[in-house]
Structure 1
Amino acid sequence: MYRKNALAAGVAAALALGSVTLVTTQSTAVPQSAAAAGASAAQPGAGFRAMTADTRSEAIRTAGRNAAATARELGLGPDERLVAKDVLIDADGSRHVRYDRTYDGLAVIGGDLVVHLTGDGRITGSDLAHQGAIRVTRTTPKLTAADASAKAVKHAKHVKKAKAGSKDSTLVVYAAGKIPVLAYRSTVTGAGETGPASREAVIVDADSGALLDQYELHQSVTGTGNGVTVGQVSIETTQTGSGYTLTDAAHGGTIVYDSYNSPQSNPRQNARAFTKTSNSWGNGTASSRESAAVDASYGLAKTWDYYKSSFNRSGIRNDGRGAPAYVHVDTNLVNAFYDDNCFCMYFGDGSSQNGNTPVTAVDVAGHEMSHGVTAATANLTYSGESGGLNEATSDIFGTMVEFYADNTADPGDYYIGEKLNMSSGYLRRMDNPSADGKSLSCWNSGAGSADVHYSSGIANHFFYLASEGTGAKTIGGRSHNGTTCNNDTFAGIGKDKAAAVWYRALSAYMTSSTNYAGARTATLQAAADLYGTNSQERYLVSKAWAAVSVGTALPDPGNGTPTPGPTDPTDPPGGNALTNGSFEQGTSGWTQSDNIITNSSLQPARDGSWYAWMMGYGADAVESVSQSNIAVPATGAPKLTFSLKVSTQESGYVAYDTLKVKINGTTLATYSNANASSGYVQKTVDLSAYKGQAVKLEFAGTEDTYLPTVFLVDQIAIG
């Protein structure tokens, strides 16, 4: 239930080191570094301090000691516990503490959150994947684990001939939807994109077995590779007695193993470390098994160095520990993937399609290692729009690693997998994602239903435009063309600044359920932190999002002061037409008290896939969604129309739970549990009293202590 409990300002908890004191209720923090709205001094990198492994561990332990007090201040329930996952510290001492949640000892999917604090421990805000406390009626399931596994096998869509046993299903609380439910998370194995032992997560309701979510567990680049791409390079090795191993002590002890074609179900089955008496590795062709290992070692080291030099991040989990890598996995495997369960990366040898050359290019290594960084930070769920953002994050940083490596054999560009010998010449293009015939260049209401490798195109396109702006360019010897979805033209802020904005948004503001609208909010906050609220960088970030159909551009700040944009001659005098009345542009144009506007499949939309879901908690609650400065027509008989569906567990005709329609704070219509309907019903409200005025429209919901009522609103129009 996306209910945000109000935080009581001024409440302090006297705790040692990192005391928690609440000072604001905003959902996205404004750290001290951005306190001056017009600040122009850029923060280094993504604004985070470098920390030793010991310093970070102590910060996490402190966050753990403060977890109970933090949960109370955030209004979480008595059965909930916070588990500290990571801590980032800004240059000014502000902190961002990332927590996972449990409920009655069960893991909560979609329960993660980030708490933002000043240097002296005062809470300035929080970003929660699921707002407010979590409540489920009980934690005893009707289905057994074996039942859940059987249901999961039937629901699986990413693998064929799916299999799962009772040990493959774990009881959890699923809070990624609006109402938390008891669920099973099952791991299903079968033939899929990553081979005959591909794995898929399937989440089913623990009582009914209904499908709640499903996604691939191998987060991968799929395609053919041409193997050795980096040419002659220096790599870090370790001397052991009279020989050497491909152990990179300079990068957390990263070891590259030869999998010896072990199956994907157990890539370590036959694995052994590369060893030899001389310190010269490979011959530059696939005829030597060492050549693929050189590529992998080089790519992973460059990825580590990029994160360290750019963001003060020490390895995937920021703990100084290197992840093992396995080359020559399986046979005919045209793939590479990261697996967070084993904290390791696997690289296949390709197939006859490309002469059996390994999939070990620099941007592939950067892509896979960045999946680990995402898992350690926002942990974006690998389905829906968050899955597209997950894939795009790996494309973004894989590309940045390629630029950072500055390797003449593989110069930096915004093509993904251009060294993998694809028939099209690349896997994906960031400047023009839809050029492959599958990827999305512009956001639309169906983006959440697209394969995550294709919906990633929206964020890839955003990143290219934010970095390079519009127009034709040659980059890394390849043609790029920054076209937009709205025919806008503008300059970019540069790839390093754009990457800093994305990294800060990922690590400090995004959560597992972040969608494209949320990513826009997170990156605008990150740009404000780094370059100032009224900075040209923040403005151009908003322009880049608008250019891929996510939200609208902010006013041009000019010389540091926001100025209104040119008047649209089609705008009615005294206000604007109501925008996004069917919510198909997500939250664009609307202000909401909680995560009300949604495309959740748990309830139906009247049209499209987005709608406003209000109330339904079965507990005291208030919610609102509103839009301001709407021009009511000055002629005729203006009216407000909208579609409303009411479902309730209340009985009788007493109005226990209500939805009020307000104009400028005045209630014009009230609907309640007594208006329950089997489907959507069109409602009409007379606006004659507001002819020619610019008004604020608000839908305000109130629910009492007992029995839930759900109000669904869609297709809103004023005319």
Structure 2
Amino acid sequence: MSRKNTLAAAVAAALALGTVTVVATQSTAAADSSSARPGAGFRAVSADARAEALRTADREAAAVAKSLGFGADERLVAKDVLLDTDGARHVRYDRTYRGLPVIGGDLVVHYGKNGKATGSDQAHQGAIKVAGTTPKLSASDASAAAVKHAKHVKNAKSAESDGSTLVVYAVGKVPVLAYRSTVTGEGEGEGGAAAREAVIVDAASGTPLDQYELHQSVTGTGNGTTVGQVSIETTLSGSNYTLTDATHGGTIVYDSYNSSQSNPKQNARTFSKTTNTWGTGTTSSRESAAVDASYGLAKTWDYYKDSFNRSGIRNDGRGAPAYVHVDTSLLNAFYDDDCFCMFFGDGSSQNSNTPVTALDVAGHEMSHGVTAATANLNYSGESGGLNEATSDIFGTMVEFYANNAGDPGDYYIGEKLNMSGGYMRRMDNPASDGSSLGCWTSSAGSVDVHYSSGIGNHFFYLAAEGTGAKTIGGRAHNGTTCNSDTFAGIGKDKAAAVWYRALTTYMTSTTNYSGARTATLNAAADLYGANSQERYLISKAWAAVSVGTALPDPGTGSPSPSPSGSTSPSPSPSSTGNPNPGNALTNGSFEQGTAGWTQSDSDITNSTLQAAHGGSWYAWMMGYGTSAVESLSQSNIAVPATGSPKLTFWLKVSTQESGYTAYDTLKVNVNGATLATYSNANASAGYVQKTVDLSAYKGQNVKLEFAGAEDAYLATVFLLDDIAIG
């Protein structure tokens, strides 16, 4: 079935396949727990045990795909397995379609401690189907289109070594055949350093679908040797020592010898000497930057191991190589998952040519690897902001964990890099850099990911530390909110445990900020209980950055303050007192994402594949071309008690059907009664305003539902926007 959320009618009777019966719904939070579960709830697993768990997951893959209603052309490949301390299991799969990689096809399947599947989280919910896998465009045409549409590089050209790869792009609502191309050129920063960008174009038309930088990087300046005198792990081979850290998976730090970004390994050589003393603390020694990198990567490894029982980037005990002194005048450091390695530049004349090897930078870059190995958040849109925020969060936590007197923990990013403003980003006040977002807006998905990351950074700071002025690590911090709320934090270690569990267990490649809120609330319930103060305060921190509303306080039972601009539910109508004022419908423009709405599928979107009537968000219902049903609803809406109340909304209908027979329908239901029906016969070139009389419901609180249904042949798309009751 070509659906986001397959088995609409069959979820309740999912195929019984032993221990791999999977319910194709969002995972629900665990029952209350009186005490926190350590290590974000995960237990340590040896490399051999993890490998066997992956083999088991691969053996189960076909049954899992069938249970979820996936088609015969789809295959699942196990990517990661996490085991809870209580025996529960979480299996992450990548997906292919007729042998082609599916971008946005990843999913996580959850199993209880009894071995039975409890649910799944899918980047693209349900089966994937495209008309065919024979492209209209050739690979060379796709590469030319990619060069034309590249946004993040100048003087772009196709990277012929990578070429254009045929894929299925399933990030939008309707999967399409596409090409993923790699484009190279000059970067946007100082000196025109080399840059690489992925560009995804429609395989039929060459229309750009997405583009993002391949170097998931921290751009900044250095401050020489930042860690001072520290102990580092080395290896003695014959009579020479090398910067090979056998205690951390064989991590090796190389001298790139100023090889270009496009080929950082070209001139690389091993640091090797007969004595085991490294660096001078100044840039006059090439070893000084290597000491910083070696120390930072070791501390990052130890942080993940001690905090979450994670053994290295991919949880397989293997260390990644790192290269210092990359390029010339490079104000950058980056992680590259293609080579499973990290690169650090030497800075430029703007910062006295000091290396970009600070402790939180090393933690940031290695954490990009952890993200790639788990949720693999797409490096564009809101998911890209979450990707960057994850690296800032864990880079910061590594700094706290290291407890280095010369670089105490704080919530400033890159404060040791000698930036002109004193830091690269601030988690307590993201907007202080003049570019980063501290509050969610409907345009967050179109902002550079280094700036949209501010929303996640701000959330994490507030969740950890709460509101108000503080001095942390000798630096001033001030936790202000977007809704003027005040509250305490749960502590940085608990907040980090929640984020890590959400990242590894509930997030997928397409998770946005609304999805991150859901993922962290699920994680907090797993770790501390569904009615815990920790979970409540997590919801408060999200509301404080304009993502959703706060949960009721489990301690008092009273509701939490709502974000600025939100509307509280109206009271039930009464024969006395003021009449119902009406129009309490929340977020009718969808510009707050999913806030206020309940959706059976991922209907609310800001996808550029369709246009909104106003703003950038809208609801996209149906359009599968096969049997499907879905609904979008909002409850407890106050209908005005006076006048002639009406429901108004803008509707655009596009269809592959012909004639005036209603094959595919969208019904408007109020309290279960159908008041209006629209169908493929109402197809229009643009949005048309619709009006539904609500006089029969004067003064009542009602449930409004848009219910879509599609038959087995040909697709009809219903787009909804700017809904109001008044």
Normalising by the smaller structure, the TM-score range is over 0.9
Residue equivalent to 1:260: 257
> Structure 2 residue aligned with 1:173, among 161, 168, 175?
168
1:404 aligns with 2:397: no
Spell out the pairing of 1:120-135 with structure 2 (5 A cutoff).
120-135=114-129
CA RMSD of aligned residues (A): 1.5
1:86 aligns with 2:87: no
1:611 aligns with 2:618: yes
- Partner SS state of residue 704, structure 2: strand
TM (normalized to structure 2)? 0.96
Counterpart AA for 2:114 = D
**How many angstroms apart in 2 are the aligned matches of 1:80 and 1:98?**
15
Is the CA contact 2:6–2:24 (under 8 Å) kept in the aligned structure 1? no
Q: What is the CA deviation profile of residues 575-619 of structure 1, one whole-angstrom value per residue up to 9, with x for unaligned ones?
A: 881100000000011000000000000000000100000011111
**How many angstroms apart in 2 are the aligned matches of 1:320 and 1:9?**
40
Shift in Å, 1:459: 0.3
Q: What is the CA deviation profile of residues 115-148 of structure 1, one whole-angstrom value per residue up to 9, with x for unaligned ones?
A: 0011332110000000110000000001110000
Residue equivalent to 1:322: 319
**How many angstroms apart in 2 are the aligned matches of 1:622 and 1:55?**
42
Residue equivalent to 2:55: 61
Shift in Å, 1:707: 1.0
Residue equivalent to 2:535: 538
Counterpart AA for 2:422 = G
**How many angstroms apart in 1 are the aligned matches of 2:363 and 2:28?**
30
**How many angstroms apart in 2 are the aligned matches of 1:444 and 1:205?**
28
Shift in Å, 1:10: 6.1
Is the CA contact 2:196–2:213 (under 8 Å) kept in the aligned structure 1? yes
Shift in Å, 1:104: 0.1
Q: Percent identity?
A: 79
- Partner SS state of residue 457, structure 2: helix
Counterpart AA for 1:581 = G
CA spacing shift, 1:413–1:566, aligned 2, 3 Å? closer
Counterpart AA for 1:21 = T
Residue equivalent to 1:631: 638
1:602 aligns with 2:647: no
**How many angstroms apart in 1 are the aligned matches of 2:339 and 2:115?**
35
Is the CA contact 1:582–1:715 (under 8 Å) kept in the aligned structure 2? yes
Residue equivalent to 1:28: 27
**How many angstroms apart in 1 are the aligned matches of 2:706 and 2:395?**
44
1:273 aligns with 2:241: no
**How many angstroms apart in 1 are the aligned matches of 2:567 and 2:103?**
47
Shift in Å, 1:570: 7.5
**How many angstroms apart in 2 are the aligned matches of 1:564 and 1:173?**
44
**How many angstroms apart in 2 are the aligned matches of 1:25 and 1:323?**
36
Residue equivalent to 1:186: 181
**How many angstroms apart in 2 are the aligned matches of 1:482 and 1:330?**
38
Is the CA contact 2:570–2:636 (under 8 Å) kept in the aligned structure 1? no
**How many angstroms apart in 2 are the aligned matches of 1:419 and 1:565?**
38
1:345 aligns with 2:342: yes
Shift in Å, 1:2: 5.0
Q: What is the CA deviation profile of residues 668-703 of structure 1, one whole-angstrom value per residue up to 9, with x for unaligned ones?
A: 000001111111111110111111111100000001
**How many angstroms apart in 2 are the aligned matches of 1:468 and 1:328?**
36
> Structure 1 residue aligned with 2:720, among 694, 713, 716?
713
**How many angstroms apart in 1 are the aligned matches of 2:388 and 2:621?**
31
**How many angstroms apart in 2 are the aligned matches of 1:700 and 1:218?**
43
**How many angstroms apart in 1 are the aligned matches of 2:317 and 2:222?**
30
- Partner SS state of residue 350, structure 2: helix
Is the CA contact 2:569–2:636 (under 8 Å) kept in the aligned structure 1? no
> Structure 1 residue aligned with 2:434, among 429, 437, 444?
437
**How many angstroms apart in 2 are the aligned matches of 1:570 and 1:355?**
55
Q: What is the CA deviation profile of residues 517-547 of structure 1, one whole-angstrom value per residue up to 9, with x for unaligned ones?
A: 0000000000000000000000000000000
**How many angstroms apart in 1 are the aligned matches of 2:305 and 2:330?**
31
- Partner SS state of residue 293, structure 2: helix
- Partner SS state of residue 624, structure 1: strand
Residue equivalent to 1:39: 33
Is the CA contact 1:620–1:705 (under 8 Å) kept in the aligned structure 2? yes
Shift in Å, 1:466: 0.2
Counterpart AA for 2:25 = Q
Residue equivalent to 2:579: none
**How many angstroms apart in 2 are the aligned matches of 1:172 and 1:569?**
43
Name which of structure 1's ranges 289-298 and 4-13 shifts more when overlaid on structure 2.
4-13
- Partner SS state of residue 264, structure 2: coil
**How many angstroms apart in 1 are the aligned matches of 2:534 and 2:643?**
45
Counterpart AA for 2:67 = E
1:658 aligns with 2:665: yes
Shift in Å, 1:649: 1.1
Shift in Å, 1:715: 0.4
**How many angstroms apart in 1 are the aligned matches of 2:503 and 2:188?**
27
Shift in Å, 1:21: 3.1
Q: What is the CA deviation profile of residues 252-293 of structure 1, one whole-angstrom value per residue up to 9, with x for unaligned ones?
A: 000000011111111111111101111000011111000000
**How many angstroms apart in 2 are the aligned matches of 1:105 and 1:669?**
44
Counterpart AA for 1:523 = T
Shift in Å, 1:240: 1.0
**How many angstroms apart in 1 are the aligned matches of 2:347 and 2:555?**
52
**How many angstroms apart in 2 are the aligned matches of 1:571 and 1:279?**
68
1:109 aligns with 2:106: no
Shift in Å, 1:569: 11
Counterpart AA for 2:26 = S
Name which of structure 1's ranges 195-204 and 696-705 shifts more when overlaid on structure 2.
195-204
Spell out the pairing of 1:82-481 with structure 2 (5 A cutoff).
82-164=76-158, 168-193=163-188, 195-481=192-478
**How many angstroms apart in 1 are the aligned matches of 2:547 and 2:48?**
41
TM (normalized to structure 1)? 0.97
**How many angstroms apart in 1 are the aligned matches of 2:155 and 2:448?**
20
**How many angstroms apart in 1 are the aligned matches of 2:395 and 2:560?**
36
Residue equivalent to 1:696: 703
Q: What is the CA deviation profile of residues 82-123 of structure 1, one whole-angstrom value per residue up to 9, with x for unaligned ones?
A: 000000011111111000000000000000000001133211
CA spacing shift, 1:566–1:448, aligned 2, 3 Å? closer
Is the CA contact 2:570–2:637 (under 8 Å) kept in the aligned structure 1? no
> Structure 1 residue aligned with 2:571, among 570, 573, 584?
573
Residue equivalent to 1:548: 545
Q: How many residues align?
A: 707
Counterpart AA for 1:653 = Y
Counterpart AA for 2:185 = G
CA spacing shift, 1:597–1:260, aligned 2, 3 Å? same
**Unpaired runs of at least 5, structure 2:** 574-581
**How many angstroms apart in 1 are the aligned matches of 2:277 and 2:146?**
49
Counterpart AA for 1:164 = S
